[in-house]
A and B are shown apart, each in its own frame.
Chain A
Amino acid sequence: MTDHGQAGVDPFRMDLVEEFRHRPIGAHSGDLQRLLNLMRGEPLKGKYVLVCAKPGTWMLAQLSGVRGGPVSMMEHEVFHSREQAEWAVFKLRWRRLTGRQPDF
């Protein structure tokens, strides 16, 4: 048995981490795509989204999971590119799925 986290995510697959960091949006290997499908398929309650109030600035936020419920904005998590935001959310989800603090 390898030391897998939840849903069979292998916390030692640094190659997938590097692949994602290099290109968060676009063509991916099969293994990275499967990992991203797990990450991105999280339920609406607590799902990470961005809020773009002005061009070039993205704030991290979470959905409530309740129709019409408030979108919780994290005012200290602000990014200046979508790629930056993708990387930050990837790390949050990595922690959730592997149970380990990302050391990358």
Chain B
Amino acid sequence: MTTPRIIGYADQIGAAPGDRLRFMVSCEGIDRYRADIVRIVAGVGQTKDPADQYRTVETTVDGLYPGRFQPIHSGSFAVVENCDVFASSNRGFSVQALIWPTLSSRACQALLSQWCDEERAGFALVLDGQGALALMLGRADGSVEVVSTGVPVVERVWHFVGASFETASGEVNLYQEPLAGSAHITPASVAKSATGLLPARPAAVPLLIAAACRNNSRPLVGLWHFNGKIEAPRIAGRALTRSEMEALRAPNVPSSLAPELIAAWDFSEDIETDRIRDRSPNRLDGRLVNLPARAMTGHNWTGTEMNWSHARDQYGAIHFHEDDLYDAAWEPDFTLTLPRELRSGVYAARLQAGDEAEHIPFFVTRPRGEPSTDLVFLAPTASYMAYANERAGIDAASTEVLTGHLTALSPRDLWLNAHREAGYSLYDRHADSSGVCYSSRLRPIMNLRCDHIQSWSQFPWQFSADMHIIGWLEAAGHRYDVTTDEELHRHGLAALAPYRVVITGTHPEYYSTAMWDAVRAYLGEGGRLIYLGGNGFYWRIAYHRQLPGVIELRRAEDGIRDWTAEPGEYYHSFNGEYGGLWRRLGRPPQLLVGVGMAGQGFDVCSYFRRQAGADDPRAAFIFKGIEDEIIGDFGLIGGGAAGIELDRYDLGLGTPSHALVLARSEAHTQMYFPGPEEVDNVMSNLDAAQNPLVRADMIFFETGSGGAVFSTGSIAWSGSLSHNNFDNNVARITANLLQRFRDPAPFPSPCG
């Protein structure tokens, strides 16, 4: 089976005319490929011929390009330049740290190293193939001496580890000691060996924490990535005794040891950044590669404080993973300067070689304050990033029980299975089973594709599902602009203010505080919002303040979670905000859009039944020309407009009391269940076949400022738009809404 041989990504998810976009491409076994730009005008299944989803746009990038392979180097570590353990090598050295290992079965994992593997020179403090602490010393003749405690560390238990090397005697001392507080009965281990050799100083290799250098070329490539937490690493310029190492563990270095100290890093400083700080007078600050997890509890976390910004000294640990990835950092293949006349919309760079084609999407927004029309599609790009390269269909055993049908893998899924280096989604776990809390878009994202069918649900998902909305707008001839979550986060209300109407995507699940505030402010100023999705406005996320294209999520106390954040690690490292569900932060989705997450199921979809609210004169415009009792009993997604993830009306959670329930879904199967936040106690009638709270409510309400909100409460809605050549009651309702929402006449307040 052939898996994709052309892959790529863009440096921006959205850009305006005049902006430059760079495209990075990697080929395997392809010498040349053709690139051009297409506009996406339909979603998967909306056209008879899949090629009709795209319209070619002539640009300066059209042409043939040489294919080349570009590797991805995943795995996080810290780099410290100008830190030379061998500077006073006549006296030897000591290295030490506190560690919390999470995957001790790997062949070799470096904790601290100044090592060049090509030269086999330098030193590396590692966990060896047995998971035991070992010191590797590479000689000038290429031989390597390894001294090991021979005793495996215990996973997820804090240990003190230290090693010293004395040049005169050639003596190595190793210390591997579990810290008190664990029920494991594991003795402290020591090893002593007189090697008699002086390690060779590797040429031009920096000191690494949690990895070792493959060679001295740049950009650096790490190997022997450590999985687990590291805290308080220290290096001294002579062989310290065990008691001196103990003294050096303290946050403040004793003055007696100051002359010997090379570096003492404190990971509790600058937690919001990718920098690490050295508290020694040498100021050997370093930088982090591939975003290991910060704001992690340290060995001394007591549980009395949950917020790292209140007790930084208890959050001195960084959790490194062999499969962390921030920026694939490929060389660009071509650059597109967006033509001035290019209309706002959804586009892709199309890469073709023989029968193979890949589409790398991007959104063409408008220059700020220059809308081309009064309607904007708000692409939920944060949610696209949350799902980026999700592998639940391959890595999670439970998905078939969740969905009620077989998983079906695409060639892209097979590629993701084989290419772990492409990084994970916020739904996945790292190799050591810890949750993935950061996701970037600076890497190939195999499910950010117009024809994507999610393996385990077998539905179009996120970006590909949202193209059903774009396809409907195009087919119906509605003029629209597009914008992105990143624009909304960066510019707030200004991103939406030029527009009378905003249409969301099918599953705008992940919202930063700035995004949430901006949508609220937009509604406060009379904006009109058409929420065409389900399970929206659910999780709080954080964008990094300096690094582009990366978000953070802590799957905290509640919600549907594929992993759960560890105790004490519910606050975002990027900005210090408490993470988790917006509902648990006092902002249930109902407060914003009138409905909020009720439940989910992935077998089949259902329909809506019209409710009394549809007959209210205030809603007459919505049901104009529609006499049907049943709405949306058809569609590309599970055969109905009500399904996958469902939102419901709830006055107690903030639905405005004047909101009209226009229609309500019913007849969901026993495979639909409420989210944990809906379940205070467990009982045998949770599933939708017995639980009337698992349903979608289609609602409408005026905002009191001349604006209004319409919510479908269902992810599947957009899959029904194209039924019967776009002539159906779902498309009619959506068109009726759009027509009235675009009308500048204010919506009168129903409360007088």
| Interface presence of B180 (CB below 8 A) | no
**Which residue of chain B is the closest to A41 with respect to CB atoms?**
B401
Contacts of A41 in B (CB 8 A): 397-398, 400-401
For the complex, what is the distance from the CA of A89 to the CA of B408, rounded to whole Å? Answer: 13
Stretch at the interface among B153-161, B412-420, B434-442: B412-420
| Interface presence of B406 (CB below 8 A) | yes
**Which residue of chain A is the closest to B689 with respect to CB atoms?**
A27
Contacts of B453 in A (CB 8 A): 52
Contacts of B395 in A (CB 8 A): 44, 67
Indicate if the CB atoms of B406 and A37 lie closer than 8 Å: no
Pull 7 A–B residue pairs with CB atoms less than 8 Å apart, ordered by A: A27-B670, A49-B406, A50-B406, A51-B1, A52-B453, A53-B411, A89-B406
Indicate if the CB atoms of B407 and A49 lie closer than 8 Å: yes
Indicate if the CB atoms of A86 and B670 lie closer than 8 Å: no
| Interface presence of A95 (CB below 8 A) | no
**Which residue of chain B is the closest to A32 with respect to CB atoms?**
B670
Indicate if the CB atoms of B400 and A82 lie closer than 8 Å: no
B636 → chain A closest CB, angstroms: 13
For the complex, what is the distance from the CA of A30 to the CA of B408, rounded to whole Å? Answer: 25
* Interface size grouping (class) on chain B: 20 to 34
| Interface presence of B232 (CB below 8 A) | no
| Interface presence of B405 (CB below 8 A) | yes
Contacts of A52 in B (CB 8 A): 408-410, 453
**Which residue of chain A is the closest to B453 with respect to CB atoms?**
A52
Indicate if the CB atoms of B405 and A24 lie closer than 8 Å: yes
> Which single member of B409, B420, B431, B689 contacts A50 (CB below 8 Å)?
B409
**Do most interface residues of chain A lie in helix, strand or loop, or is the interface mixed?**
mixed
- Known: A27-B669, A43-B397, A53-B1. Is A67-B406 also a contact (CB below 8 A)? no
A85 → chain B closest CB, angstroms: 6
| Interface presence of A35 (CB below 8 A) | no
Indicate if the CB atoms of A26 and B406 lie closer than 8 Å: no
- Known: A68-B418, A68-B420, A82-B458. Is A36-B406 also a contact (CB below 8 A)? no
- Known: A67-B395, A68-B417. Is A25-B404 also a contact (CB below 8 A)? yes
Contacts of A28 in B (CB 8 A): 669-670
> Which single member of A26, A30, A36, A67 contacts B420 (CB below 8 Å)?
A67
B431 → chain A closest CB, angstroms: 6
- Known: A37-B401, A41-B401, A67-B431. Is A73-B406 also a contact (CB below 8 A)? no
**Which residue of chain B is the closest to A38 with respect to CB atoms?**
B401
Indicate if the CB atoms of B397 and A26 lie closer than 8 Å: no
For the complex, what is the distance from the CA of A1 to the CA of B689, rounded to whole Å? Answer: 33
For the complex, what is the distance from the CA of A58 to the CA of B409, rounded to whole Å? Answer: 9
**Which residue of chain B is the closest to A27 with respect to CB atoms?**
B669
Interface of chain B residues 379 through 424 with chain A (CB within 8 A)? 393-395, 397-398, 400-401, 404-411, 414, 417-418, 420
Kindly list the 8 A-B residue pairs having the minimum CB-CB distance in the complex, ordered from nearest. A50-B408, A40-B400, A27-B669, A52-B408, A44-B397, A26-B604, A49-B407, A25-B405
B486 → chain A closest CB, angstroms: 31
Indicate if the CB atoms of A85 and B689 lie closer than 8 Å: no
What is the 8 Å Cβ interface bit string for chain A, positions 44-63, against chain B (1 contact, 0 not)? 10011111110000100101
> Which single member of A25, A30, A67 contacts B603 (CB below 8 Å)?
A25
Interface of chain B residues 177 through 220 with chain A (CB within 8 A)? none
Contacts of A68 in B (CB 8 A): 417-418, 420
For the complex, what is the distance from the CA of A74 to the CA of B603, rounded to whole Å? Answer: 25
| Interface presence of A101 (CB below 8 A) | no
For the complex, what is the distance from the CA of A43 to the CA of B458, rounded to whole Å? Answer: 20
What is the 8 Å Cβ interface bit string for chain B, positions 599-635, against chain A (1 contact, 0 not)? 0000110000000000000000000000000000000
- Known: A27-B670, A71-B414, A73-B1. Is A58-B397 also a contact (CB below 8 A)? no
Chain B residues within 8 Å of A, Cβ to Cβ: 1-2, 393-395, 397-398, 400-401, 404-411, 414, 417-418, 420, 431, 453, 458, 603-604, 669-670, 689
Contacts of B417 in A (CB 8 A): 68, 71
Chain A residues within 8 Å of B, Cβ to Cβ: 24-28, 30, 33, 36-37, 40-44, 47-53, 58, 61, 63, 67-68, 70-71, 73, 82, 85-86, 89
**Which residue of chain A is the closest to B398 with respect to CB atoms?**
A41
- Known: A25-B604, A26-B604, A71-B414. Is A86-B420 also a contact (CB below 8 A)? no
Most chain A CB atoms below 10 A, which of B401, B405, B458, B604: B405
Most chain B CB atoms below 10 A, which of A28, A40, A70: A40
A14 → chain B closest CB, angstroms: 21
For the complex, what is the distance from the CA of A70 to the CA of B417, rounded to whole Å? Answer: 8
Indicate if the CB atoms of B393 and A49 lie closer than 8 Å: yes
Extra pairs beyond A28-B669, A43-B397, A52-B410 (11, CB < 8 Å): A24-B405, A25-B404, A25-B604, A40-B404, A49-B407, A50-B406, A51-B409, A51-B414, A71-B414, A82-B408, A86-B406
Indicate if the CB atoms of A40 and B409 lie closer than 8 Å: no
**Which residue of chain A is the closest to B391 with respect to CB atoms?**
A67
**Which residue of chain B is the closest to A37 with respect to CB atoms?**
B401
**Which residue of chain B is the closest to A28 with respect to CB atoms?**
B670
**Which residue of chain B is the closest to A51 with respect to CB atoms?**
B409
For the complex, what is the distance from the CA of A67 to the CA of B227, rounded to whole Å? Answer: 15
Contacts of A63 in B (CB 8 A): 394
- Known: A25-B404, A26-B669, A51-B1. Is A71-B409 also a contact (CB below 8 A)? yes
**Which residue of chain A is the closest to B667 with respect to CB atoms?**
A27
B395 → chain A closest CB, angstroms: 6
**Which residue of chain B is the closest to A24 with respect to CB atoms?**
B405
B393 → chain A closest CB, angstroms: 7
**Which residue of chain A is the closest to B418 with respect to CB atoms?**
A68
A72 → chain B closest CB, angstroms: 11
A40 → chain B closest CB, angstroms: 4
Contacts of A25 in B (CB 8 A): 404-405, 603-604
> Which single member of A24, A33, A53 contacts B670 (CB below 8 Å)?
A33
A38 → chain B closest CB, angstroms: 9
Contacts of B669 in A (CB 8 A): 26-28
B460 → chain A closest CB, angstroms: 13
For the complex, what is the distance from the CA of A87 to the CA of B417, rounded to whole Å? Answer: 26
Indicate if the CB atoms of A49 and B405 lie closer than 8 Å: no
For the complex, what is the distance from the CA of A24 to the CA of B404, rounded to whole Å? Answer: 9
Contacts of B404 in A (CB 8 A): 25-26, 36, 40
For the complex, what is the distance from the CA of A27 to the CA of B671, rounded to whole Å? Answer: 8
For the complex, what is the distance from the CA of A102 to the CA of B1, rounded to whole Å? Answer: 31
Contacts of B409 in A (CB 8 A): 49-52, 61, 71
Contacts of A86 in B (CB 8 A): 405-406
For the complex, what is the distance from the CA of A51 to the CA of B453, rounded to whole Å? Answer: 12
Contacts of A71 in B (CB 8 A): 394, 409, 414, 417
For the complex, what is the distance from the CA of A58 to the CA of B404, rounded to whole Å? Answer: 17
